[in-house]
Amino acid sequence: MKITIAGAGAMGSRFGLMLHRGGNDVTLIDGWPAHVNEIKEHGLKANYNGEELTADLPIELQSDISSDEKTDLIILFTKAMQLDAMLQDIKPLIADHTKVLCLLNGIGHEDIVEKYVPMENIFIGNTMWTAGLEGPGKVKLFGDGSVELQNLGHGQEETAIALAKVLSDSGLNAAYSDNIHYSIYRKACVNGTMNGLCTILDTNMAGLGATQPAHEMVATIVNEFATVAAHEGVHLDVPEVIAHVEECFDPETIGLHYPSMYQDLITNHRLTEIDYINGAISRKGKKYGLATPYCDFLTQLIHSKEEILKA
């Protein structure tokens, strides 16, 4: 199977590397010239659960795709705000049979993917794998994870199950979900609380959890997500989701971790995915006539911080 990873940062590199080691024909596509050149010249370097390795993976700059050889599967792993431009640039690789799997964090990416790919070829999912980009051409890949995915098009369940098997055969631990929008909203509640709050408050998740107002802020934001989700027919179990979010506070597990938005904005002065997490809830809330004041405010705070830091 010919697999294209569109967006080969931390997560795209993880999936590309694991699928390559699993024996698939993998090509990376990315938009960061320094990263692309480094991998072209020296291979993809990875600290893979403590083992230093180099993988000889083909990579192309997305603005410079020379081949129009079609691909069987595209896995999208840009940041949310890079997704539309990536799909535009990889159009030459998309054939009638090409399946597209979107695993970005956030809500509503299918609205963008649908502009380029027929519904029956679109699959969306959610992953618990993590990855870190240490610099151009170098990733740090630790721990275990999983993937859930589902077809958007009617009657494509068997294809979704087959795609999950392709990922699992390379150790990515993927499963078919019959309710992927629930999982996506549930994970978005984690990102919609930990990311923005830790970034603005300049703390890790345990630090946030140790503050007195943390529970009320988390509960209010989760309730805003749940109200919007219910309008779309997704009924979150709010107490369970709040408890799930608050597991992040535990310093014995992941509490000492700074969320990716913190690393993007505070450490690296890069733009964030806020418009596709809390910002998506704000937009949908306005569309459905639902009040989402905490998501509105958090989105504005992050945008102000992006401007202050000249992200």
Q: Are 32 and 64 in contact (CB under 8 A)?
A: no
From the candidates 138, 187, 284, 305, give the one annotated as an active-site residue: 187
Q: Are 16 and 170 in contact (CB under 8 A)?
A: no
Please report, as residue ranges, which positions from 35 to 94 form the binding site for ligand NAD (by CB under 6 A).
35, 77-80, 82
125 binds ligand NAD (CB under 6 A): no
Q: How far is the CB of 196 from ligand NAD (least distance, A)?
A: 13
Cα 261 to Cα 90: distance, rounded to the nearest angstrom:
26
287 an active-site residue?
no
Q: How far is the CB of 35 from ligand NAD (least distance, A)?
A: 5
- The tokens for 53 are 């390795």
The position carrying tokens 């009657």 is: 155
Can you say whether residue 136 is alpha, beta or left, with left for phi > 0 and alpha for psi between -120 and 50 degrees?
Answer: beta
109 binds ligand NAD (CB under 6 A): no
Backbone phi and psi for residue 196, each to the nearest 5 degrees, phi listed first: -65, -45
Q: How far is the CB of 104 from ligand NAD (least distance, A)?
A: 3
Whichever of 30 and 246 has its CB closer to ligand NAD, that residue is: 30
Distance from the first to the final alpha carbon of the chain? 38
Whichever of 79 and 284 has its CB closer to ligand NAD, that residue is: 79
Q: Which of 3, 4, 5, 7 binds ligand NAD (CB under 6 A)?
A: 7
From the list 6-14, 203-211, 282-290, 300-308, the region that binds ligand NAD by CB under 6 A is: 6-14
Whichever of 104 and 281 has its CB closer to ligand NAD, that residue is: 104
192 binds ligand NAD (CB under 6 A): no
From the list 110-118, 124-132, 203-211, 227-235, the region that binds ligand NAD by CB under 6 A is: 124-132
Name the 3-class secondary structure at 74.
strand
Cα 3 to Cα 269: distance, rounded to the nearest angstrom:
32
Please name the residues in contact with 65: beta carbons below 8 A apart, sequence gap of 6 or more: 29, 89, 90, 92, 93
148 binds ligand NAD (CB under 6 A): no
Q: Are 282 and 295 in contact (CB under 8 A)?
A: yes
12 binds ligand NAD (CB under 6 A): yes
What DSSP state is assigned to residue 264?
A: I
Please report, as residue ranges, which positions from 217 to 276 form the binding site for ligand NAD (by CB under 6 A).
260, 268, 273
Report, as residue numbers or ranges, the catalytic residues: 187
